[in-house]
Amino acid sequence: MRGKLVEAGLGSPLDAAISQRDRGTLAMVRQALERGDVVLAYQPVMRADGAGVAFFEGLIRLMDETGRVIPARDFITVVEEQDLGRQIDCAALRLGLAVLKAQPSLRLAINMSARSVGYPGWMQILRRTIRQRPDLLRRLILEITETSAMLMPEIVQVFMEELQDKGITFALDDFGAGYTAFRHLRHFCFDILKIDGQFARGVDTDADNQVLCEALIALGRHFGMVVVAEAVETEGEARWLAAAGVDCLQGYHFGAPTMTPPWAARGRPP
C-alpha cells in the first residue's frame, strides 16, 4: 500500500510532514520580509593578540508576528535555494550598509550566498553603493560559505576580481566543512579564512582537532589570508588557538550575537 502511495506521488507521512513544515517556514519568512521584521544581530570578532575587536559580524534574524526572534538556523536551509533566500541577502546587505553609514569607524561582515551574485536586486544595492558611497566598501566584509562558493566557483571568482579594487574584503566562511578544491582556493580573492567551528570544539584537549586546525591555519597563512577561528566557547580553546597562530577568535566565549551592540549602548563603535 505504501509503495502505491509513493507511486501516486503522495509520499510517506514523514515526507508529507517535512513538506508541510517547509511550507510553513517559507510562509513565515515571506511574511516577515513583507512586514520588514528583519534585523541584524552583531557578534564581535576579537583579535587573538588581545588588542580588542577586529570587526563585527552581522547575522540575519527574522521576527514573527509576535515579535519573537527567529534565528537563521530555523529557516536558512529551507530558503537557501529559493528567491526568498536572495531577498534575505538583500535585506542583510541593506541593513549592513545602513549601520556602516551610521557608524563611521565600524567594520562589519555580512553573509551572502554565491547565488546572490547573479541576483539583480542584490547587485543593484551593491552597485548603487559603489556609485554613491564607495567609502563604505572599505569597511564592508562579505562572507561566503565554503559550500556556497563551491556551487559556482568560476562565477564567484569573476565577481571577486571585479570588486577587488573597490576595497571590499572577502571572507571564506565555515572553511573545512565543505569540499573546496585547492585549485579554486588558489585563484579566489578571499582575504579572510574562517575555520569552521567544529574544529575549535575542545581543540585544547582533542589531538585530532589540533592537527586539523594546524593544517587549516598553515593553509590560510600560505595564501596570505587572515585566519579566524569560529565557535570558540572556552578559555582553553581560545588560548590554544591563539598560540597556534590564528589572527582572530569568534564565539560565545567572547560574546553572543546581540541586537543591542556596544555602539548602540555607548553611542559609538568600540
pLDDT tens for 155-213 read 999 999 999 889 999 999 999 887 666 677 888 989 999 999 999 999 999 999 999 99
The C-alpha cell that represents 204 in the structure block: 585544547
Distance CA 169, CA 47 (A): 17
| Backbone φ and ψ of 104, nearest 5° | -65, -15
* Per-residue confidence (pLDDT) for residue 5, from 0 to 100: 43
Residue 173: strand pairing partners = 145
CB 32 within 8 A of CB 62: yes
Does the pLDDT of residue 18 top 70, yes or no? Answer: no
- Amino acid letter for position 237: E
CB 70 within 8 A of CB 28: yes
Q: Which of 248, 218, 228 lies closest to 172, judged by CA?
A: 228
CA 204 to chain centre: 25
Distance CA 69, CA 124 (A): 28
Instruction: Note the pTM of the prediction, 2 decimals.
Output: 0.89
- CATH topology classification for 37-266: TIM Barrel (3.20.20)
What is the domain partition of the chain in residue ranges?
37-266
Other CB atoms within 10 A of residue 139 CB: 20
DSSP 140-164: EEEEEEHHHHTTSHHHHHHHHHHHG
Distance CA 4, CA 221 (A): 57
The DSSP element (H or E) to which 169 belongs, if any, is strand 169-175
CB 54 within 8 A of CB 46: yes
* Per-residue confidence (pLDDT) for residue 13, from 0 to 100: 58
The C-alpha cell that represents 31 in the structure block: 511574511
Does the pLDDT of residue 7 top 80, yes or no? Answer: no
Radius of gyration of the chain (CA): 20
117-170: per-residue pLDDT in tens? 989 999 999 999 999 999 999 999 999 998 899 888 999 999 999 998 899 999
